[in-house]
Amino acid sequence: DGGITQSPKYLFRKEGQNVTLSCEQNLNHDAMYWYRQDPGQGLRLIYYSQIVNDFQKGDIAEGYSVSREKKESFPLTVTSAQKNPTAFYLCASSSTSGSSYEQYFGPGTRLTVT
Amino acid sequence: GQSLEQPSEVTAVEGAIVQINCTYQTSGFYGLSWYQQHDGGAPTFLSYNGLDGLEETGRFSSFLSRSDSYGYLLLQELQMKDSASYFCAVRTFNAGNNRKLIWGLGTSLAVNP
């Protein structure tokens, strides 16, 4: 079955540690996205990538880094520079063809930093 | 700046009809999408309007008026399972023609028996 996987579902880290969240898709989508969601809030874009080896900062990129070495994979690293990293992180992908408009989401990773 | 406004909460009873409005102020507008998110889950796509008018998909319909920068999601024959958050999102692009979605803060819908 095609879809997006994120692992792990829950992640706990101590302050000062970097942590990498995994995102893999087998939908053959060119575009991939990372969002952050805080309780009762909408989705805020962290980084996005339209093609392999290229990515752009979203609205809240400070303290985060990404790579896009393969079409299927778009890992997100939450660095110690991110001041408030505890949140629900969602990865999404979409086709880049002209008529496409739907973003498909993974199940999310809930990160808690103490 | 770019912004989307939608009500924070809506309450309705089973079997009723509810309309969730969304007004937007964005640049590079392609279209308006609606997503549903249950507590603890991921957003799932409901509908998309690229042109003015009404799109119907089963119990859900979505409307867009580009001249008014306004859209709405209409949910009919409400069921308990429709209790969720509903997000409007504008499909836009930046100066590099990279496409992205700008999201509203979401409307929490509670369906009561």
pLDDT score of B103 more than 60: yes
- Residues in chain A with CB shorter than 8 Å from the CB of B50 are 101
pLDDT score of A22 more than 80: yes
Euclidean distance between CA atoms A6 and A105, whole angstroms:
9
Q: Using CB atoms within 10 A of its CB, is residue B47 exposed (0-12), middle (13-18) or buried (19+)?
A: buried
Provide the shortest C-alpha distance from residue B106 to chain A (in Å).
6
Size of interface A-B (CB pairs under 8 A): 51
Euclidean distance between CA atoms B44 and B89, whole angstroms:
12
Among A48, A102, A108, beta carbon nearest to B42? A108
Cα maximum dimension of chain A:
44
Among A40, A48, A103, beta carbon nearest to B45? A103
Tell me the per-residue pLDDT of B44-60, one tens digit each, with 9 for 90 and over.
999 999 999 999 989 99
pLDDT score of B62 more than 60: yes
B45/A104 touch (CB, cutoff 8 Å), yes or no = yes
pLDDT score of B96 more than 60: no
Rg (CA), chain B: 14
Provide the shortest C-alpha distance from residue B69 to chain A (in Å).
19
Residue A91: both structure tokens together: 């990865």
Which chain B residue shows the shortest CA-CA distance from A46?
Answer: B100
The mean of the pLDDT values for chain A is 92
Query: A38 near A56, Cβ under 8 Å?
Result: no
Alpha-carbon dihedral angle through residues B57, B44, A60, B26, given to the nearest 10 degrees: 0
Residue B57: both structure tokens together: 């998909």
| Confidence bin at A42 (pLDDT 50/70/90) | confident
